[in-house]
Amino acid sequence: MLSLSKETLAFAWEHAGEDTARLLLSAARYPGIDMPAAVQQIEGLRVARDKWPSLLDCPDYLYPPRLNREQSSSEVTAHYKASLFSIFLPGSKGDTACDRSGANSQFSIFADLTGGMGIDTLAFARVAQHVDYVERDAQLCALMEHNLRALGVDNVDVHCADSLDWLQQSITHHSSFNTIFLDPARRDARGRKVAAFEDCTPDLLANLALLRGSCQRLLVKASPMIDIDLACRQLGAVSEVHVVAVKGECKEVLFLLGGDAAEEPQIVCVNLNNQSIPNNQNTPKPFTFSRTEEAAAEADLCDAVGAWLYEPGAALMKAGPYRLLAQRYGLLMLGPNTHLYTADRRVDDFPGRVLRVLQEVKGGRKELAALLPDGRAHVVTRNYPAEAATLQRQLGLREGGDHFVVGTTVGRRRTLLLCEQE
């Protein structure tokens, strides 16, 4: 891939909209083109449009194989991670008073121990004086070296090594890192996806003492499927948990160890859009809480559904501040296990979807056919005996349109609500 000629790179840009399978079959027509490499580049360019849009400004950037692209952070989540540390760094990039050997170097040294495609490393490089990128895959390291030059980033060192071996050796030569970032591989020996720390590589729990002893702050990225409370107990000394969604889909859970001492972690839920997050000021307003606050929260159940229906965003559904949402926003719960809320007023800053309730549907499919003559609606279920796709088929509806049909439980009563989103 690093031998990609100018002709092959130009070919990839010129044919970015074409069918890559057909390009591979017609490779003989282009004898001067490394077609497999061109197709890899084309596929990377397509993913970059949504996942790493700023890379499209760099015509010489080379993309890694598919699996590495799939495992990589998006640009927006990478910038969010970096924004967590800009407030801690008096020696951030551009402050010439801080260098690796200086008295303040502990504030400026980052280590990304699971470098991969390097998107997180690039984001950390924007807020740190220096970043060490560590990756055992020689091809990825070579790509990173090339891409750093292409992007003009000069404060990152690339280390092709086992991350834990490299860490053990490096801490004997200089003071501890300000921050270590670890994103363990979440696939087992058979390539199946896993979520628990003990099933990931490297073994975070078995090497926790080494990691914690080598830095002031340890940031761990975990699967959206992770059990948050179990993970906090396993890690210990977790100061913050960040549950990160992008455009309504939960993408990652971050555990921050170190920083200010706290009796229990603060759980931060945030929903990002596809724009880069250059600093904390541009980060959407998070919902922050603790388990103690949730346990103490009081919430009332509704007798009937009001004029507005509120559905928490994906990050909140993952983190579970269910009673606290009702208390903070002055809402009523539809049921103790329904996780939908209602009120007769609109709450503009609610962290999730807000729907206007048109009516309760008691006649099922027949009534909906009259109410929705085009037969289209988005179907949502919460605490309902059927999945959304199943209910959609039962009701004879097609996806789309401006209306929502919500299958849910109010108290102990199952019902359908016809709603619209403004």
Q: Which residue has the tokens 């761990």?
A: 220
Per-residue confidence in pLDDT tens, the chain, 422 aa: 556 888 999 999 999 999 999 999 999 999 989 999 999 999 999 999 999 999 999 999 999 999 999 999 999 999 999 999 875 444 434 333 233 333 333 445 899 999 999 999 999 999 899 999 999 999 999 999 999 999 999 999 999 999 999 999 887 766 678 899 999 877 766 667 777 888 778 889 999 999 999 999 999 999 999 999 999 999 998 999 999 999 999 999 999 998 665 689 999 999 998 664 555 455 568 999 999 999 999 999 999 999 999 999 999 999 999 999 999 999 999 999 999 999 999 998 999 999 999 999 988 889 999 999 999 999 999 999 999 999 999 999 999 999 999 999 998 899 999 999 87
Radius of gyration of the chain (CA): 25
How do the domains of the chain map onto residue ranges? 6-51, 72-289, 294-420
User: What is the rounded (10 degree) CA torsion for 18, 23, 26, 30?
Assistant: 90
The phi-psi region of residue 62 (left if phi > 0; otherwise alpha if psi is between -120 and 50; otherwise beta) is: beta
Distances (CA, A) of 127 to 118, 195, 225, 240, 284: 15, 29, 29, 20, 19
How far is 270 from 93, CA to CA, in rounded Å? Answer: 26
Question: DSSP string covering 315-330, please?
Answer: HHHHH--HHHHHHHHT
Sign of torsion, CA 387 391 394 397?
negative
How far is 237 from 214, CA to CA, in rounded Å? Answer: 15
Per the DSSP assignment, residues forming a β-bridge with 181 are 112, 219
Residue type, 245: A
Among 272, 197, 204, 263, residue whose Cα is nearest residue 227: 197
CATH architecture designation of domain 72-289 = 3-Layer(aba) Sandwich (3.40)
Report whether 117 contacts 72 (CB < 8 A).
yes
